[in-house]
Amino acid sequence: MSEMPILQVKNLHTSFFTDAGEVRAVNGISYNLDRGKVLGIVGESGSGKSVSAYSVMQILTDTGRVTEGEILFNGDNILKYDDKQMAAFRGSKISIIFQDPMTSLNPVFTIGNQLREAIRIHTDRNKEEIQARALEMLQLVGVNEPEKRLKQYPHELSGGMRQRVMIAMALACEPDILIADEPTTALDVTIQAQILELMQDLQKKMGMAIIMITHDLGVIADMCDEIIVMYAGKVCERGTADEIFYNPRHEYTKGLIRSIPRLSEKHEKLVPIAGTPVDLLNLPKGCAFASRCDRAMKICLREHPEEIRVNENHIAACWANVLQMYEEEQGGTNA
Amino acid sequence: MADFDPNVNPQKRPFSLQLDLAQFEPATEEEKAQQETMRESTTFFKDGMRKLRRNPLAMGSIVVLLLLLVTIIVAPMIVPYGYSDMVTVNGKRDKSAKNLAPFQYSKMEQQAIDTGENIFPHIFGTDELCRDYFIRVVYGARVSLSVGFFASLIVLIIGLLYGSIAGYAGGRTDLIMMRIVDIIYSLPDTLMVILLSVVLDQILGQRLQGTILASIGTNMLSMFTVFGLLYWVGMARLVRGQILTIKNNEYVLAARAMGAKPRRIIRKHILPNCMSVIIISTALQIPSAIFTESFLSFIGLGVQAPMPSLGSLANAARAALQAYPYKMVFPAVGICLIVLSFNLLGDGLRDAFDPKLRK
Amino acid sequence: MTESDAKKRKMIVLMLLALVLAVMGWIFLPIKSEKILCTVVLALSCGAVFFSNDTGRYVCKRILLALLTILIIAAITFFAMNAIPGGPFSKEKAPSAAVQAVLEERFHLNEPIGTQFRLYLEGLMQGNFGVSTKTGREIATTIFSSFAISAKLGGYAALCAVILGLILGSIAALNRGKLADRIIIFFTTLFVAVPSFIMATLLLLVFCLQLNWFPIFSTDNPSYVLPVIALMLSPMSYITRLTKTSMLDVLGQDYIRTARAKGVKQWKVIFKHALKNALIPVITYVGPMTAYILTGSMVVESVFTTGGLGTKFVQGISNRDYPMIMGTTIFLATLMVTMTLISDLVYKAVDPRIDFN
């Protein structure tokens, strides 16, 4: 055990209390994030990946609430912060960029107004310094003609430009952690690559840790130190990027990997995952993925699998692993 | 590589103990299917009706409106007085039955009751012309409701036709038709209603005498005319907007590709899809027409006397407000109840059926 | 991009000022044709200066459209009134043929109707609305003297309606589903359903005649409180509901989440980031609200007998005083069209997303 992780999430449960009932979006996930590392969270829509990030930022909507668990930032439980502490914490220690840059910037204020506000909140710089910092940030994220951009309104910028502005805004106060909530999903493919490259570049320069949320395993393959695969608010599998890619131990992960298009293997068909995501209003008793799983066993429908350490760098929650280990062990004793 | 905290994460555990291998047999498709919690599939209409039924305000409004409807249909059959006739006792006009309080009897009536006759009570009293006030309020509600209903009907028909033609035709036709709408839209409607009421009152006044239309009164006719001339533009805009969005949907393109005629496409594909929005807007048009009528009554351009409307009754009651405040209260409560019910019903319908509000 | 938006908006503000000046001149300057022409030309020349860009073109287009609308209203009013059988003098005690001829000569009634309309318009331009058939007084004098009272009443009502509506609407949105929200929505729903003359009558009956809290309105001792309340409750309720809906909509937007994620404090998120966006639909209501308040004031003023323009109009209607009805209709319509124009322009100025093509 070296240094303390900058962020520890322990057994986090988040629910939305709607008219139809309690929607259990996150059901007990735990992870650690080390200083300066990149953690990828992968899952399909509704798997709770964004909600887990919003829980960390405490920016859930009115109906959402963390019902259980702890979120430790440098050992401090931020769930115990009051409103004022939380406001000071957001943006300065942890920042976030969102999926859709088209709607994430306020349409009735200029870029400069919004960028300067982000800087002003967390520093006591004077007007000129703030303006200089805003310009510097825009240059850093590669926005051309930054002086002019500061005076423009969001609708006058392209999607890629707006996402760059969002990144500039998020990083303006040099946070320790940057959460990127599907930062490239709403962008063109060519722009996607640019934005990812920019983020990697900035990470090297500024040294913050990144939580990269995406539904696209391919996007984060070579960026992440560690990957968490989520399904129905639970962790399916987590481990180093190599482990997840080359040694997946959960049927859902395998399905995700099979559904990534690859250029190298020309004639291989893409295999979609059959079925639809579960209803978070009534979670099934057993493994949430069982009904879509080709290798589902009777036990999968009855009991939820615990997280099992597969090896040093890899944990998975799948009954198939239990069976496999049992068979290996049996084989070992028989031999 | 990040350390895995041993306190949080389970360690690798030995499996030397027996596992119930029966549990590890592949599950069948049926077993898997049970897992999928089936949500009941509902149609748009069913889902909307369910939401409407669960809205107590909207359901309360429906009940109130139904009760009112029953009252104004049934009451004239039971109450033995007419809205324009003086109260009579044994065929004699009862001049003492002036401004009676609710459930009060006049001297003549009292004498008749003493001789053992049965006289129907004046539930709301009588007015200054010795007419039963209850029946006048009932007829007033009848008039107000029908004014609201017919005005909305006119608006609906004209707006629907105009809007669907403009929206469906598109291009230059649409442009010209909508310019006309824009111009009419910019006219201040209440002022135009007043102006036309004044003018039509003079023009139609003599010509109508003796015809059936005369009983409706020139003011009401001019109000309908104005609704027909001016108020439909809002509906036309709404319908056109709806049609433009629906027109480019795949299923309409498909129908056209298969050679369906425009009429059929409008009737079968487009109208059903914008029906909910149109119905909601019509429901909200009714109180607005009732409001306009009561406003016109106030400035002396309402229904033709002795025909009562709720607005004209309330207006007439202002003259003796301090002496007989209840004469104000009955029609005023009537108007407010009707308008409130339609507003709440309209809101309820919108919450239940407006596709824009659905998630 | 030829111009930055800040500059665009400055121009709109300038244009608005010019417009307001023109309208003020139209209404309040001593009525002389030169001055009116002067203000109209001022407004249009202001537009012409900026005609080279989108904003100027848009503003000019809107002003011209507004002028066209006023012209159409004047035409409708004039021809509708002329369609009434019998001239303005045939209804009274029939004067002798000679007197009739002199009168017709004086009021150009012997001219063809087109010429009459042209003459009437010319009169309007010079602030000459004709002469009342009932009182024999200049209609323009009656309108302008009584409008002062109506303007004061309507101005207070509009101001109260907007301010209270915004506050109550925001409170309702921020306390959605809680007691405060329910109370506000209950009362606003109720107020929308009460016609203004009933509201005015009830207020008069309860607070003036029964409780004696407020004096009866008189020119020496004008008490605006009750008329303003009667006039403002309905638009206030409407604005409250509008603000609540648009506030809830805005609070669910992504950019509000962004602001919170930046660490902006809760109250500032609401008052800076949300309110400006939520205001946009409210601005579009200013035009209809003016119309509502002007027509509503006819009723409210009659109930409280304030002697304002509303009272005079209603009197004109019951007297069948056609020139008076005509003049007032055109005057009020001009006011409504102007307010709609201003609210549209302000709307475009506040929302930078609108382009001017």
The pLDDT-based confidence of B4 (bands split at 50, 70, 90) is: very low
The pLDDT-based confidence of B12 (bands split at 50, 70, 90) is: very low
Residue B51 C-alpha, separation from nearest chain A C-alpha, in angstroms: 12
Is B89's pLDDT higher than 80? no
H runs (alpha helix) in B299-354 = 310-317, 325-353
Average pLDDT over residues A78-85: 85
Closest CA to A81 of A98, A101, A66, A62: A66
pTM for the full model? Answer: 0.78
Q: What is the DSSP string of A193-226?
A: HHHHHHHHHHHHHH--EEEEEES-HHHHTTT-SE
CB pair distance less than 8 Å for C260 and A59: yes
Average pLDDT over residues A187-203: 84
CA distance C17 to C15: 5
Average pLDDT over residues C24-30: 60
C181 close to C230: Cβ distance less than 8 angstroms: no
Give me the pLDDT at residue C88, please: 53
CB pair distance less than 8 Å for C84 and B343: no
CA separation (Å) from B126 to B83, B88, B109, B306, C336? 11, 12, 13, 14, 42
Say what angle helices C286-304 and C309-318 make with each other, to 10 degrees.
70
The pLDDT-based confidence of B169 (bands split at 50, 70, 90) is: confident
CA torsion A192-A193-A195-A198 (nearest 10°) is 170
The percentage of chain C sitting over the pLDDT mark of 70, rounded to a whole number, equals 75
Listed range (A8-12, A13-17, B104-108, C70-74) with the worst mean pLDDT: B104-108
Region of residue A21 (phi > 0: left; psi between -120 and 50: alpha; otherwise: beta): left
Q: How far is the first Cα of chain B from the last one, in angstroms, to the nearest whole number?
A: 42
Token pair, residue B305, equals 């006397």
**pLDDT tens sequence across C246-295:** 888 888 888 898 888 888 888 888 888 888 888 888 888 887 888 888 88
Using a CB–CB cut-off of 8 Å, the residues of B that contact C are 183, 186-192, 194-196, 198-199, 202-203, 287, 291, 294-295, 298-301, 311, 314-315, 318, 321-322, 325, 328, 332, 335-336, 339-340, 343-344
C123 close to C129: Cβ distance less than 8 angstroms: yes
Give me the pLDDT at residue C330, please: 87
From chain B residues 328-357, the ones with a CB under 8 A of any chain A CB are none
By Cβ distance, the residue of B1, B10, B23 closest to A298 is B23
Collect all residues of chain A within an 8 Å Cβ-Cβ radius of residue B9.
30, 307, 309, 315
From chain B residues 22-81, the ones with a CB under 8 A of any chain A CB are 22-27, 31-37, 39
Instruction: Return the sign of the alpha-carbon dihedral for residues C307, C308, C311, C314.
Output: positive
Give me the pLDDT at residue C55, please: 67
By Cβ distance, the residue of C69, C195, C291 closest to B335 is C195
What is chain B's length? 359
CA distance C217 to C221: 7
> Which of A83-92, A265-274, B245-254 has maximum average pLDDT?
A83-92
Average pLDDT over residues C131-142: 77
Question: Mean pLDDT for chain C?
Answer: 78
CA distance A227 to C184: 50
Question: Mean pLDDT for chain A?
Answer: 82
The pLDDT-based confidence of B29 (bands split at 50, 70, 90) is: low
Give me the pLDDT at residue C161, please: 92
Is B36's pLDDT higher than 60? no
By Cβ distance, the residue of B190, B203, B294 closest to C195 is B294
ipTM for the assembly? 0.81
Average pLDDT over residues A87-104: 86
Token pair, residue B10, equals 């389970």
Average pLDDT over residues B193-206: 77
Give me the pLDDT at residue C307, please: 80
CB pair distance less than 8 Å for A309 and B31: no
CA distance C251 to C278: 9
Q: Please give the distance of CA B308 from its chain centroid, rounded to a whole number.
A: 21
B neighbour chains, 3+ CB pairs within 8 Å: A, C
Collect all residues of chain A within an 8 Å Cβ-Cβ radius of residue C266.
83, 87
φ, ψ of residue A2 to 5 degrees: the values are -90, -115
CA separation (Å) from A146 to A139, A149, A168, A205, B187? 7, 5, 11, 20, 47
The pLDDT-based confidence of B66 (bands split at 50, 70, 90) is: very high
CB atoms within 10 A of CB B145: 22
Burial of residue B169 (CB within 10 Å: 0-12, 13-18, 19+) is middle
CB pair distance less than 8 Å for B15 and A295: no
DSSP code of residue C306: -
Q: Calculate ∠ Cα B197-B201-B203, nearest 5°.
A: 120
CB pair distance less than 8 Å for C262 and A89: no
**pLDDT tens sequence across B246-264:** 777 777 778 778 877 777 7
Contacts 24+ apart (CB under 8 A), C76-79: C76/B187, C76/B192, C76/B195, C77/B195, C77/C326, C77/C329, C77/C330, C77/C333, C78/C116, C78/C117, C78/C120, C78/C326, C79/C113, C79/C117
By Cβ distance, the residue of A297, A308, A309 closest to B23 is A297
The pLDDT-based confidence of C236 (bands split at 50, 70, 90) is: very high
Stretch (H or E) spanning A31: strand A21-33
**pLDDT tens sequence across A46-55:** 788 888 888 8
Average pLDDT over residues C190-207: 85
The pLDDT-based confidence of C334 (bands split at 50, 70, 90) is: confident
CA distance C321 to C138: 13
Residue B262 C-alpha, separation from nearest chain A C-alpha, in angstroms: 38
Give me the pLDDT at residue B358, please: 45
The pLDDT-based confidence of B43 (bands split at 50, 70, 90) is: low
A89 close to C293: Cβ distance less than 8 angstroms: no
Give me the pLDDT at residue C44, please: 62
CA distance A238 to A218: 16
Close Cβ partners of C269 (under 8 Å, ≥ 6 residues apart): C256, C259, C260
The pLDDT-based confidence of C355 (bands split at 50, 70, 90) is: low
Residue A182 C-alpha, separation from nearest chain C C-alpha, in angstroms: 14
CB pair distance less than 8 Å for A151 and C262: no
**Largest pairwise CA distance in chain A:** 77
Give me the pLDDT at residue A335, please: 43
Residue B19 C-alpha, separation from nearest chain C C-alpha, in angstroms: 49
The percentage of chain B sitting over the pLDDT mark of 70, rounded to a whole number, equals 81
By Cβ distance, the residue of A32, A290, A306 closest to B35 is A290
CB pair distance less than 8 Å for B9 and A290: no
CB atoms within 10 A of CB A175: 21
Stretch (H or E) spanning A38: strand A38-42
The amino acid at residue A213 is I
Radius of gyration of chain B (CA): 31
φ, ψ of residue A72 to 5 degrees: the values are -105, 120
CB pair distance less than 8 Å for C340 and B298: no
A250 close to A228: Cβ distance less than 8 angstroms: no
The percentage of chain A sitting over the pLDDT mark of 70, rounded to a whole number, equals 93
The pLDDT-based confidence of A300 (bands split at 50, 70, 90) is: confident
Average pLDDT over residues A274-283: 71
Give me the pLDDT at residue C45, please: 57
Q: Where does B49-90 show beta strands of DSSP type E?
A: 88-89
Q: Who wins on pLDDT, B69 or C96? A: B69
Give me the pLDDT at residue C3, please: 47
Give me the pLDDT at residue B44, please: 66
Token pair, residue C288, equals 């209809």
> Which of B224-238, C39-53, C123-137 has maximum average pLDDT?
B224-238
CB pair distance less than 8 Å for B9 and A30: yes
Give me the pLDDT at residue C168, please: 92
Give me the pLDDT at residue C8, please: 61
Is A91's pLDDT higher than 70? yes
Collect all residues of chain C within an 8 Å Cβ-Cβ radius of residue B339.
192-195
CB pair distance less than 8 Å for B26 and A297: yes
Residue with tokens 């003359």: C197
**pLDDT tens sequence across B92-129:** 777 776 777 777 777 777 777 777 777 777 777 777 77
Give me the pLDDT at residue B3, please: 44
β-partners of residue A97 are A180
CB pair distance less than 8 Å for C77 and B195: yes
B308-321 per-residue burial string, b: 16 or more CB within 10 A, e: under 16: bbbbbbbbbbbeeb
The pLDDT-based confidence of B5 (bands split at 50, 70, 90) is: very low
By Cβ distance, the residue of C314, C325, C337 closest to B195 is C325
Give me the pLDDT at residue C80, please: 82
CA distance B239 to B247: 12
**pLDDT tens sequence across C143-189:** 888 888 888 888 899 999 999 999 999 899 888 888 888 899 889 98
Q: Who wins on pLDDT, B92 or A180? A: A180
CB pair distance less than 8 Å for B295 and C197: yes
Give me the pLDDT at residue B14, please: 46
Give me the pLDDT at residue B63, please: 92
**pLDDT tens sequence across B126-163:** 777 777 788 888 888 888 888 888 888 988 999 988 98
Q: Calculate ∠ Cα C156-C158-C159, nearest 5°.
A: 65
Collect all residues of chain C within an 8 Å Cβ-Cβ radius of residue B343.
189, 192-193
By Cβ distance, the residue of B188, B195, B295 closest to C80 is B195
Give me the pLDDT at residue A264, please: 61
Q: Who wins on pLDDT, B174 or C116? A: B174
CB pair distance less than 8 Å for A106 and C176: no
C336 close to B186: Cβ distance less than 8 angstroms: no
Collect all residues of chain B within an 8 Å Cβ-Cβ radius of residue C332.
188, 191
CA distance A172 to A90: 12
C-alpha atoms less than 13 angstroms from C-alpha of A112 in its C-beta half-sphere: 15
